[in-house]
Chain A
Amino acid sequence: MPAIFSRSLDFYVRQLGVGLVVGVSLFSIGFYYYALPSYTRVGYTPEQPVPFSHQLHVGHLGMDCTYCHQAVFEGPHANVPASQTCMNCHNPKKANVKGTSPLLAPVRMSFETGSPVEWKRVHKLPEFAYFNHAVHVNKGVSCVSCHGQVNEMKVITHDQVLSMGWCLKCHNAPEKSLRPVSEVTNLTWARGKHEDDGTAIKKNLAVNPPMNCQSCHR
């Protein structure tokens, strides 16, 4: 009876086995690198209709975050400012800072017609996650913790992971990220050497971040 398979098959089958192990390992590693929010979301930098530079307004001119995002200490959302806010300075009929710049045309148009500038949303939490800005900033969590060094960004970029696991890191050990409430919008603030490490702030502000499901998934 002649042999069913050729002599070299056994060698190829073993090679295939090794190849399979290597392939599956590479796929798993690749999957965990490319499919998680640390890759898919961090670094998202869409081009905006108006090239508004936070670096210029916050970093150089020293404007406070709350000048534009007024609602952040009071409401769940850190609102995107209305064109009205921009026009406080850029209105050609008043302060007239760059009042005729073509780059600002969409803002002027919006101010005149009342329809908002169509900013591209950068930071978006899933709808099943409840997040309240006010409670975070009022308990000493700085803007910089979630949005990065906005004062250095010419164009806003998605700086942090913003995944559930990322949230939980801070909820597990909040003191590392707490600072005096007065310094929340100070993006260049750094903890002094002899200053409290956040434990006292945590105690004073009664920071007790919830770890149960329903605090965010209501």
Chain B
Amino acid sequence: MCRRLALVPTGPTAAPVGRPLNVIHEPEFMMTATHTADTHTSHGPKFPEPLPRIPLVWGPATYDSLSEQISEITEKGQPAWWWPAFLISASLLTGGIVAATYLISTGIGVWGSNNPVNWAFDITNFVFWIGIGHAGTLISAILFLFRQRWRTSINRFAEAMTIFAVICAGIYPGIHVGRFWYAWFMFPLPNANHIFQNFRSALLWDLFAVSTYFTISLIFWYIGLIPDLGTLRDRAKSRTRQLIFGFLSLGWRGSTRNWRHYEVAYLMLAGLSTPLVLSVHSVVSFDFATSLIPGWHTTIFPPYFVAGAIFGGFAMVLQCMIPARAVYKLDNVVTIKHIDVMCKFILATGTLVGYAYCMELFIAWFSGNPYEWQTFKDRAFTGDYVWAYWVMMTCNLFIPQVFWIRWCRQTPWFVLIVVTFVNVGMWYERFVIIVQSLHHDFLPGSWGQFYPSWVDWLQMIGDFGLFFTLTLLFIRCLPMIAIAEVKGVLPMANPHGHPVAEDKYLKGEDGQYPTEDHAMAAEYGAPAHASTEVKPSPTPVPAFIPTAGGNGTPWGAVAEFANGTLLLAAAKATVAAGYKHVDAWTPFYVHGMKEAIGRTRSRLPLFTLAGALTGLTAAVAMQFYLMAYYYPTIVGGKEYRSWEAFTPIFFEMTVLFAGFFTLFSLIGLCGLPRFFHPLDSHPTFNRSTQGGFFLTIEAKDAKFNPDTARAFMESLGGKHVAVVEA
């Protein structure tokens, strides 16, 4: 028996009989003990049956219960701790605002940064916060590409954290230039001075990388939010909430014609964000690595920074998620296994970071460069900042090693303690790199100490205040778990799935739970079966539903179905009956539905490509024109047209434009915003974003006749059938 606990694909299984060939079977990924070996080879050793899969959401959750569980957090009053927590965060934030105002009105001298340590708390905090953001993008983009579907429970929270962390970071480049009102000099805007930025400078790459990262993260987050904002709108009782979420959701109703673009847009953004997230912290590390300061000038920086960013980011996700999960009782969605897996990420990346620390130290000695070696000797053994170095080593390398132990990964309060150390350690890492390297460079004559001023401290604490204020507001106002995505990973959401009998749930062939994880998940109860009954309508559904300001002609016929499997069959039957203008409205994308309503793959990627090419062309034209012709500048002794140092901005602008084109083409192809729709008048149609499944035939269909369409939909088993006025 070689049983391994692993997060691995089991690979595409043989297609079940009767599945249309054009449906690509998505390989299923779940957190469970699986065998990586091929189980159907006719030769070689025989392997036992794979273990039963642990579902991603534990317990008998349904579409409706999930919508309610997560939306309710924003609908009901907050628990008692929320206000004190918010007030504390907000007062810390106020301190930060005071510090920034004092800095801007007085001058940069109010900080402790001074020769030779000209970068200190400001850049330490900047790099710290930028790093925090990386976990969000890793979870939302990279794990999406790798089809790690457990990400759905945590991606919204992590993405929100990304955005808030980048906001916290973005403050520093703004205020540390001293003259805040000249911050626009960082952007390549035409001006009367006829000068532009140096596009070969790592600092400008940094600006492009961070602003692109923020923009793309925001787009990604917002696109992910749209279906859930629709859910909040449709659940809203008060007029204010209806208006707010009605506007924000752009009129999303879960049409499959929209879902087919949506899914592709999401994939495109995940594809764009993946190299982007790796580039951002690499570029941040170039701020140091392209200089000549001993301790900064190393090629290991980009991978080392990226690993550290993911490490610190996961720690911050857990830091915020574990309390939120306990307070709001989300442990059936964010399960112990999610915490377990995130701890494994922390362990892996922490060890990578530890490797980088050791390698830096080794290379400093092995290179034979006396400046490099004296800096590292000073850093690790003899200098003034040895304490900081060993705080960093302990928190980042040694303490996370406890995650080799299963208990440590699966005990939330213990994880919370460990990740606090990790967050502290990651702050110290940046402090050590920046302050220690600067205070002790080439000339003993220019060695010096750094003493933070009270403004430094207040600004730093204020940043934490900003972060937690935004996080608390986010928890209060928006769904902190991607409702639509989580619905899609429920066992009942698979229209081709075969539910397991309750008494055999998660048990092996021998009737026992094969691992402790199986037993733990089974305690929550078996997953619910998809409902086979349509939820009754609060008011009787008339055969013809008039709309406000309607013109008397029918818009089309609508019918409700109990679950995705029934709707899929009904949609296929409708298309087979010769109807062309068919649409299915579902709370999440039901696999195979776009083919069932007679649609194909979205053409949205062409727009993404067009955006990418536009961005690349713009970046090439801008940099070559400005640096080689408009104001020819020699940097680093290279010729005017040397292109190598332009590459980061080529990349960033390509991604930025591709992201914008994806967003706008998604909105355009879906016909959004569409605030009014005739279907809104149907008494149960607001369930299309919660737990209802609807089929529509539009009146513009040549075959449409109100009476026959209605009769046809009733014959398919549709309930609440009605014709809606246009």
| A→B interface (CB under 8 Å) | 1-10, 13, 32, 36-38, 161, 163-166, 168-169
Contact = CB atoms under 8 A, between A and B. Distances in A.
Contacts of B192: 36-38, 161, 163-166
B685 A3 contact: no
Contacts of A2: 548, 680-681
Interface string B527-563: 0000000000000000000011100000000000000
A5 B675 contact: yes
A166 B194 CA distance: 8
Q: Give 5 nearest A-B pairs by CB, closest first.
A: A165-B194, A3-B680, A5-B675, A164-B193, A163-B192
Nearest to A32: B190
12 contacts: A2-B680, A3-B548, A3-B680, A3-B681, A5-B675, A7-B547, A10-B251, A10-B674, A37-B192, A165-B191, A165-B192, A168-B631
Contacts of B190: 32
Given A3-B676, A7-B549, 11 more contacts: A1-B681, A3-B547, A3-B548, A6-B549, A7-B548, A7-B676, A10-B251, A36-B192, A163-B192, A165-B191, A165-B195
B242 A4 contact: yes
Nearest to A167: B194
Contact of A4 (B193, B675, B682, B685): B675
A61 to B, nearest CB: 37
Contacts of A165: 191-195
B677 interface: yes
Interface residues of B, number: 27
Given A3-B548, A164-B194, A9 B685 contact: no
Given A161-B192, A165-B194, A3 B677 contact: yes
B461 to A, nearest CB: 36
Interface in B668-693: 673-677, 680-686
Interface of B: 190-195, 233, 242-243, 246, 251, 547-549, 631, 673-677, 680-686
Contacts of B251: 10
B547 A164 contact: no
Contacts of A37: 192
Nearest to A12: B675
Contacts of B675: 4-5, 9-10, 13
A10 B682 contact: no
A98 to B, nearest CB: 42
Contacts of A10: 251, 673-676
Contacts of A161: 192
Contacts of A32: 190
Contacts of B242: 4
A4 B547 CA distance: 12
A13 B673 contact: yes
A162 B449 CA distance: 45
Q: Which of A6, A36, A163, A165 has the most CB of B within 10 A?
A: A165
A1 B680 contact: yes
A4 B548 contact: no
A31 B283 CA distance: 33
Main secondary structure of the interface of B (DSSP, over half): loop
B193 A163 contact: yes
A75 to B, nearest CB: 27
Contact of B676 (A1, A5, A163, A164): A5
B193 A1 contact: no
Contacts of B547: 3, 7
Contacts of A13: 673, 675
A4 B246 contact: yes
B553 to A, nearest CB: 14
A161 B192 CA distance: 9
Nearest to B674: A10
A207 B195 CA distance: 22
Contacts of B233: 4
Contact of A5 (B194, B246, B686): B246
A169 B193 CA distance: 11
A3 to B, nearest CB: 4
Contacts of A9: 675-676
Nearest to B250: A13
A130 to B, nearest CB: 15
A4 B195 contact: no
Q: Which of A3, A9, A36, A37 has the most CB of B within 10 A?
A: A3
A6 B548 contact: yes
A163 B193 CA distance: 6
A5 B683 CA distance: 16
Contacts of B676: 3, 5-10
A2 B546 CA distance: 10
A161 to B, nearest CB: 7
Given A9-B675, A10-B675, A13-B675, A168 B680 contact: no
Contacts of A36: 192
A203 to B, nearest CB: 21
Nearest to B537: A1
A36 B195 CA distance: 14
B40 to A, nearest CB: 51
A47 to B, nearest CB: 27
Nearest to A168: B194
A1 B682 CA distance: 6
A126 B195 CA distance: 17
A9 B683 CA distance: 21
A1 B686 CA distance: 7
A30 to B, nearest CB: 14
Contacts of A169: 194
A3 B680 CA distance: 5
A175 B231 CA distance: 70
A7 B675 CA distance: 8
B452 to A, nearest CB: 31
Nearest to A38: B192
Q: Which of A10, A32, A38 has the most CB of B within 10 A?
A: A10
A1 B683 contact: yes
Contacts of B683: 1
A173 B176 CA distance: 37
Given A4-B242, A4-B675, A5-B246, A164 B680 contact: no
Nearest to B539: A1
Q: Which of A5, A161, A169 has the most CB of B within 10 A?
A: A5
Contacts of B673: 10, 13
A194 to B, nearest CB: 31
A214 to B, nearest CB: 14
A13 B675 CA distance: 9
B31 to A, nearest CB: 38
A1 B688 CA distance: 12
A3 B253 CA distance: 12
A32 B684 CA distance: 54
B709 to A, nearest CB: 22
A38 B683 CA distance: 63
A104 B159 CA distance: 75
A38 B682 CA distance: 61
Contacts of A5: 246, 675-676
A56 to B, nearest CB: 34
A165 B192 CA distance: 6
Q: Which of A13, A36, A38 has the most CB of B within 10 A?
A: A13
B195 A164 contact: yes
Nearest to A164: B193
Contacts of A7: 547-549, 676
Contacts of B631: 168
Contacts of B674: 10
Nearest to A41: B192
A37 B192 CA distance: 7
Nearest to B195: A164
